[in-house]
Amino acid sequence: MHSIPKHMPTSTVVSASRGRSAQEDPWWVRWTLISLSVLVLSVLVILPIANVFYHAFSNGVAAYWNNLTGDRETLHAIQLTLFVVPIAVCANVIFGVAAAWAITRFRFPGRTILTTMIDLPFAISPVVAGLMFVLLFGAKGYFGPWLQQHNIQILNAWPAIALVTTFVTLPFVARELIPVMEAIGSEEEIAAISLGANGWQMFWRVTIPNIKWGLLYGVILCNARAMGEFGAVYVVCGRVIGKTETMPIRVNTLFEGGTSETYSSSFAVASLLTMLSLVTLFIKIALEHKTQADLKEAAQTHQTE
Amino acid sequence: MSIVVKNLSKQFGNFKALDNVSLEVPSGSLLALLGPSGSGKTTLLRIIAGLDNADQGQVHYENEDVTHQSPRDREVGFVFQHYALFRHMTIFENVAFGMRVRSLPRSEIQNRVHELLRLVRLEGLHKRYPSQLSGGQRQRVALARALAVKPRMLLLDEPFGALDAKVRQELRQWLRQLHDEIHLTTVFVTHDQEEAFEVADRVVVMNKGHIEQSGTPQEVFDHPATPFVMDFLGNVNVFHGRVENGMAMMGALNIAYPDYPHAESRNATAYVRPHELDIERAPFGTSSLEASVTQVNPAGSVAKVRVFSKEFGLALNVDLNLERYAELQLKPGDLVYVAARRARVFMPPAADYAI
C-alpha cells in the first residue's frame, strides 16, 4: 500500500546567495515601491478609518453610547438594517445555491449567458439599480397603480429596501459557490443517489458539507455589502426619518444635520459599520484559508485518481 | 438475481452510445463488460444501475421490470472508478451512509459497518478520512459502502482503473475471492482484457455501442467471433488474401479452411497471433515464408522476434518461448522460414454473395 503525499513541493527554493540575483531589483527600487504602498494605504485607508473612531469617541465612551442608543431614530435605523439584511442574505443563499447548482450540474443552452447575468448587478451602479425599482413599483411605474389599488406598499418601505439590497448583493454567494462546486464535481452526489439517498438527503448530507466553507464565505461578504448599501437604498427608501432609514442612510442624515451633536452621532453610527467591516475582514481571511484548502484537496484527489 | 437487458439504445447528441443491446447476466455470475473507450460499456452499466436512462429498451432484474425505477428502488451496489467517497465523512460514516438514509437502527448499522470493514480488511481504520487512505484502500471502502445496503447486485465501473499495476493485480484476485465467498451477481466494466479474463466467469466484448461477442473467457479468447475481438484481445499479424475450395490463400501463407468449400473465390483476411507462428532455419511444412530477422527482444516471458518478408513487403511479429529461442540463436539479419500453426479467417460480409 502506498500513501499519497499530502504536500507536494510546488517550487524549488532558490538558494540565497550573496549579492543580487537576477530577479531582484536594486534596493532603492524596492524601498520606493514599499514606501509608496505604505503611504497610499496610510492616507487612503488607515488614517480615515482611525479618524472615524477618533471622532466617534472624541467625547468619551458614555457619549458614544448615548449617541448610538439615546436617539430613537438612530435605534430604528439599526433595527431596520438588522431586519432587512437577513432577508437579503437568505434570498441570496437560496438564489446562490440554486444558480450554482444549475450552472455546475447541468449542461443547458444559455448556461454561459446565465453565468454572465449573475455578475450583472456588480456592473450596474447602485443608484441605477434603485431607479430600476422605482420605474417598476413607483406611482408611475408598471406595477405602481395596481399596487396602489391593492394597498400594497413597496417603495418608501422595507420591501423595496430588501429588494434593492438583494439585487445589489446577488452575485456574492453564487460566485463563491460556482468554482467550489465545479472543483468538487458531482461524483459524490451520484454515489449518494446510488446508495439510496433521495434528493433532499443527498443535498444536506453530501452537497452542503462539501460546500459549507465556500457558502459561509459568500454569506459573510454578502452580509457586509448588504449592511453598507447606500446608493440603491437611498433612491427607493424615501428617507423617512425614524421609519425607512437604514444605518448608512442615517449616517448621511446625521452628517448633514448641521449641529456638532449630530456630527459626532453620525461618526458613532459610522464606526459601527466600520467595525462590522473589520470583523468581516478577519472572518474572510479565516474562511479563505478553509475554502482554499477545500479546493486544493479537490484538485489533489482529481490528480491522484 | 439475474439481470436481463433487452434492446437497449441510448444516444448522446449524434453519438450512438448503445445500439440495440441485449444481454443476460446469469444469477450469481461475475461478468466483465470489455471494450475500448467509447464502446458503450459504462453507459450500459449506468443504465443497469438506473443512473442513466435508456432511450429505448428494458432492464429486468430476474422477472421484475425495473426500467423506470429510481436507483434507490433498484437496490444495487455501485462502485465508481474514482471511488467517489464522501470526503468529509469518516470511513465509518462512508460505509454507514446507505443504512443511515434508510434509517436503520443504530446498533444494526454499527455491527454491519464493522463486519464489512472486516470483509474488506480495513478493520481499525474506521475513524480515518478518505484522504488518509491509499488508492487501493479507498476502493475497498467504496466496495464496503456499496455492499452495506445488501444490494441485489454489484456493479463496478472500471474499479481498478485508477490504481497502479501492483495494487490492481492484488485487488483483482481479491475481488474474485470475495465473489466466490458472497456469490453476488456482479458486473464490472474494464478496458483491460487481461483483467477481464483473469477475474470474470463471462466476458462481453463491446465495440461502438454493440456487443461483438459474449462467452466464457476461454471461448472468447480461443474463438473470437469477429476481427474486432481478435484484434482487441492482443497482438495479431494480419494477412489479406482470398478463400476458395476449402483453402485460404494469403499469398505468403496458405492454410486449409474447410469452412468455405465453394469454388467461387472471395476476399478474406487471416489473423495469426504472434505465438501461433513458428520459425525454422530451413523451409518446413507445406508453405513456409522466407523472411529475414529485423529485431530480437528476449526480455520477458517470451522472446519477441520481428521478421520481414521482402517478397510480400510484410512485417510479422513472432513470439517464441525462451527455450526455442535459445535453440535457434537468432540474430538480426538471419534468414529464416515462418509458418502459422493456426489462423483465423474472416470474410467481410458481401452483399452480392449467397451460399
**Residue A300: per-residue pLDDT:** 65
The answer to whether B249 and B323 have CB atoms below 8 angstroms apart is no
pLDDT at residue A192 is higher than 80: yes
Cα A27 from chain centre? 39
- Check which CATH number belongs to the domain holding B77 and give it: 3.40.50.300
For residue range B268-324, list pLDDT tens digits in order. 888 889 998 888 888 877 777 888 999 999 888 889 999 998 888 888 999 988 888
Strands (DSSP E) found in A21-151: none
Cell numbers 529461442 correspond to B325
- Closest chain A residue to B154, measured at CA: A194
Nearest CB partner across the interface for A187, out of B80, B98, B134: B80
- How distant is the Cα of B72 from the closest Cα of chain A, in angstroms? 4
Residues A44 and A193 in one domain: no
**Residue A305: per-residue pLDDT:** 41
- How distant is the Cα of B183 from the closest Cα of chain A, in angstroms? 20
d(CA B117, CA A101): 34
Residue B216 lies in a domain: yes
- Closest chain A residue to B75, measured at CA: A196
Residues B129 and B11 in one domain: yes
Residues A49 and A183 in one domain: no
Collapsing DSSP to helix, strand or coil, B120 comes out as coil
Cell numbers 479565516 correspond to A286
What are the phi and psi torsion angles at B304 (to 5°)? -95, 120
- Crossing angle, helix A111-123 and helix A171-184, to 10 degrees? 140
| Complex confidence, ipTM | 0.80
**Element at A301 (helix H, strand E):** helix A260-304
- Can you name the residues that pair with A33 across neighbouring β-strands? none
Domain range for A112: 60-304
Q: Per the structure, how many domains does chain A have?
A: 2
For residue range A165-178, list pLDDT tens digits in order. 999 999 999 999 99
B→A contacts (Cβ < 8 Å), by residue, are: 49, 51, 71-72, 75-78, 80-89, 97-98, 100-102, 131, 134-137, 145-146, 148-149, 162, 164, 167
Collapsing DSSP to helix, strand or coil, B207 comes out as strand
Contact of A244 with chain B, judged by CB distance below 8 Å, is answered with no
The residue from A41, A57, A73 where one domain ends is A57
Domain range for B264: 237-346
Residues B174 and B100 in one domain: yes
Cell numbers 465556500 correspond to A214
Instruction: Name the pLDDT band for B171 (thresholds 50, 70, 90).
Output: confident
List of chain B residues whose C-beta atoms are within 8 Å of the C-beta of residue A290: none
**Residue B354: per-residue pLDDT:** 43
Contact of A110 with chain B, judged by CB distance below 8 Å, is answered with no
For residue range B120-168, list pLDDT tens digits in order. 889 999 999 999 999 889 999 999 999 998 999 999 999 988 788 888 8
What's this model's pTM, rounded to 2 decimal places?
0.79
**Residue B206: per-residue pLDDT:** 95
**Residue B353: per-residue pLDDT:** 46
- SS3 labels along B71-96: HHHHCEEEECCCCCCCCCCCHHHHHH
d(CA A134, CA A144): 9
Residue B202 lies in a domain: yes
Number of residues that make up chain B = 355
The x, y and z cell numbers of residue A177, run together, are: 459557490
Mean pLDDT of B5-28: 92
The x, y and z cell numbers of residue B17, run together, are: 452510445
d(CA B27, CA B185): 6
Residues A40 and A150 in one domain: no
**Element at B10 (helix H, strand E):** strand B3-12
d(CA A229, CA A245): 12
Residues A168 and A34 in one domain: no
The answer to whether B239 and B272 have CB atoms below 8 angstroms apart is yes
d(CA B206, CA B37): 10
Residues A38 and A115 in one domain: no
**Element at B271 (helix H, strand E):** strand B266-272
d(CA A237, CA A233): 6
Task: Sheet with B3-12: list strands edge to edge.
Answer: B15-25, B3-12, B56-61, B64-65
- Can you name the residues that pair with B325 across neighbouring β-strands? none
Burial string for B112-124 (b: 16+ CB within 10 Å, else e) reads bbeebbebbebee
Q: Do A1 and B134 touch (CB under 8 A)?
A: yes
Instruction: Name the pLDDT band for A20 (thresholds 50, 70, 90).
Output: low
Residues A47 and A115 in one domain: no
CA-based nearest residue to A227, from A243, A247, A245: A247
pLDDT at residue A145 is higher than 90: no
Residue A21 lies in a domain: no
What does A196-246 look like in DSSP terms, one character per residue? T--HHHHIIIIIHHHHHHHHHHHHHHHHHHHHH--HHHHHHHTT-TTTT--
Residue B236 exposure: Cα atoms within 13 Å on the Cβ side: 21
List of chain A residues whose C-beta atoms are within 8 Å of the C-beta of residue B134: 1-4
Residues B198 and B267 in one domain: no
**Element at A75 (helix H, strand E):** helix A72-105
Enumerate helices (H) and strands (E) in chain A, giving the number of each: 15, 0
Instruction: Name the pLDDT band for A34 (thresholds 50, 70, 90).
Output: very high
- Closest chain B residue to A208, measured at CA: B88
Nearest CB partner across the interface for B136, out of A1, A300, A301: A1
